[in-house]
Structure formats: C-alpha cells, structure tokens
C-alpha cells in the first residue's frame, strides 16, 4: 500500500539506489512525493533517476564511493547544494561478497566485507549529522540484516551487527537533537539478478554448496519458510522513515518472516 503524499516536500537521500532494495525505496518514495538524492558508485543509478523523474520526483544523482568518507561527504554536499536540507537518509549500501566458512576467508576478504557493509553507513551517518543537528530534525533508516545470526558470512554478519550498534547508539545520542535513527534487518529477499555483481568471479562447486547452505538456513530460520519480496522490505523502510513512526527510535525491526536475527 502506498501513501501518495507521505513524503511530500521532503528530501530523501537513498544510498545503493542503482538496484535491488535501494531502487525499490527510491521509486516508492518518488511515488509518495519525495524529492530525491540517489547515490551509488554505479552509473546505473542514472537509469533509476530517470524512472523516479517519470513519477514526478525531482532527482539529484550522486555517483560516489560510499566506502570512503570523501564519497559520503560529497553526497551530502550535493544534497545540500540541490535542496538546502536533508529530511531522510536511507543507508542501503552493503551485501555479502563471499559465502564460505569463516576459516576459509582471507585477510583482505574480511576487510573488504567490512568496508562494503559497515563503512558506507558509518560514513554517511557522520556526513549527514551536522546538517540534521542544525535543523533539529531528521530521520535515518539503516538497512541491516537478520544475518547477524547465520552461517557462511561471518564478516558480513559482524558488519551488520555494527550497523545495529550504530543505530542504537546514534538514536540515544541524538534524540535530543530531534533526529530519529532506526534500522530494518532484512531477511532473505527475492530480487532480480544483480546488474553489477558483488563478486564477479564465478563460484566454484564448493562455493555453490556453501551458498546453497545459506539459502537453506535462511528459509529454515524463517517462520514463514520463504524469502521476502523487495516490496515487503521497502514498506518497512519507508514506514520507519515517515512521520508515522514519529515515536520510534533506536529500533532494529526484523523483516524476515519471523526470523529475529
């Protein structure tokens, strides 16, 4: 269910907007009146911007690398140059790169997983806070994961545990500034094949087996015994971003069919 004017005249920054859940958030928010800043390091984000514009939204595109503070700062600067304020930040960058038992990870792979799934949220929150504090208003929704309790992706699990801790502590620290900070812990989600894969190297037979183990564990841990849809994740994200959640902060909402993560 959509609410046509829920974000009317609000400026929403969506990171990782080129595909998947980020694209879903961007298009749904456009249909609900938001003015958008769509951030991604893939130029595919421009296609999503065109789709959002067709729905009536004004759109600023930020092609930035959010694994760096410079990228996050540039994104926020573009948003403030374009609109003068940021009402909502949805931090959506992240995702498992490799799937295997922890002892099989190499040092550089562990660091890459943390850079991918924790640092973009850390940097983006840091970059946006001064402007929200100055206005004494703002909502941040971080996309986490129920994979904080799961198999074959321990570095990713640790990164998303960091996102949950960041969410709780930022909410505690900045409620007095009028800023709400929440997270959606997404469960397994059916999505089209990624146009830009997180890991372009084809999986070996052993890696295919490990990945199948993740899929089986995800389904079995869900009380509903299924993956969710992008729309089911988007609905929760936009609820927490909206004024309908005005008395909710510091919450990590699991959207995993009953799997609490």
Residue 234 lies in a domain: yes
Please report which helix (H) or strand (E) contains residue 76, including its range: helix 69-83
Please, which residues bridge with residue 189 across strands?
A: 228
Please list the pLDDT of the chain residue by residue as tens digits (261 residues).
Answer: 568 899 999 999 999 999 999 999 999 999 999 999 999 999 999 999 999 999 999 999 999 999 999 999 999 999 999 999 999 999 999 999 999 999 999 999 999 999 999 999 999 999 999 999 999 999 999 999 999 999 999 999 999 999 999 999 999 999 999 999 999 999 999 988 877 777 778 888 998 999 899 999 999 999 999 999 999 999 999 999 999 999 999 999 999 999 998
Please, which residues bridge with residue 13 across strands?
A: 37, 89
The tokens for 211 are: 């990945």
Catalytic residues: 156
Q: What is the pLDDT of residue 209?
A: 94
Please, which residues bridge with residue 253 across strands?
A: 184
Q: What is the pLDDT of residue 22?
A: 98
Residue 2 lies in a domain: no
Residue 3 lies in a domain: no
Residue 23 lies in a domain: yes
Q: What is the pLDDT of residue 198?
A: 78
Residue 261 lies in a domain: no
Domain range enclosing 71? 11-255
Q: What is the pLDDT of residue 197?
A: 73
Label residues 130-156 b or e (16+ Cβ within 10 Å = b).
Answer: ebbeeeeebbbbbbbbbbbebbbbbbb
* Total count of domains within the chain: 1
Q: Pick from 236, 14, 256, 245: which is nearest to 121 by CA? A: 14
Question: In this structure, is the dihedral angle defined by the CA atoms of residues 196, 44, 185 and 232, taken in order, positive or negative?
Answer: negative
Q: d(Cα 82, Cα 41) in Å, to the nearest integer?
A: 19
Q: d(Cα 188, Cα 259) in Å, to the nearest integer?
A: 10
- The residue assigned the tokens 């595909």 is 19
Q: Tell me the helices (H) and strands (E) count for the chain, helix number first.
A: 8, 9
Q: What is the pLDDT of residue 150?
A: 93
pTM of the model: 0.95
Identify the CATH number of the domain in which residue 63 sits.
Answer: 3.40.50.720
Residue 182 lies in a domain: yes
E strand intervals along 77-178? 88-91, 138-145
Q: Pick from 132, 129, 161, 166: which is nearest to 148 by CA? A: 161
Residue 109's alpha-carbon distances to 36, 41, 64, 98, 153, in angstroms, are: 33, 20, 22, 8, 11
Residue 35 lies in a domain: yes
């Amino acid at each position: 269910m959509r609410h046509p004017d829920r974000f009317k005249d609000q400026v929403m920054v969506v990171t990782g907007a080129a595909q998947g859940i980020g694209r879903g958030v961007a298009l749904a928010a456009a249909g609900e009146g938001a003015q958008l800043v769509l951030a991604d390091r893939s130029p595919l984000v421009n296609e999503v911007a065109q789709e959002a514009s067709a729905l009536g939204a004004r759109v600023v595109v930020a092609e930035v690398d959010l694994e760096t503070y410079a990228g996050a700062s540039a994104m926020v600067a573009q948003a403030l140059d374009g609109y003068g304020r940021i009402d909502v930040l949805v931090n959506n960058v992240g995702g498992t790169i490799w799937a295997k038992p922890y002892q099989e990870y190499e040092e550089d792979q562990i660091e890459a997983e943390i850079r991918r799934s924790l640092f973009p949220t850390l940097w983006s929150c840091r970059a946006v806070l001064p402007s929200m504090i100055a206005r004494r208003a703002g909502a941040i929704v971080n996309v986490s994961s129920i994979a904080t309790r799961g198999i074959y992706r321990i570095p990713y699990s640790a990164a998303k545990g960091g996102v949950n801790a960041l969410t709780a502590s930022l909410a505690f620290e900045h409620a007095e500034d009028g800023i709400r900070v929440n997270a959606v812990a997404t469960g397994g989600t059916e999505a089209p094949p990624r146009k830009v894969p997180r890991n372009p190297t084809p999986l070996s037979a052993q890696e295919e087996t490990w990945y199948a183990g993740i899929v089986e564990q995800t389904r079995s841990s869900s009380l509903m015994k299924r993956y969710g849809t992008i729309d089911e994740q988007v609905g929760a994200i936009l609820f927490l971003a909206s004024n309908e959640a005005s008395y909710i902060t510091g919450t990590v909402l699991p959207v995993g069919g009953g799997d609490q993560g």
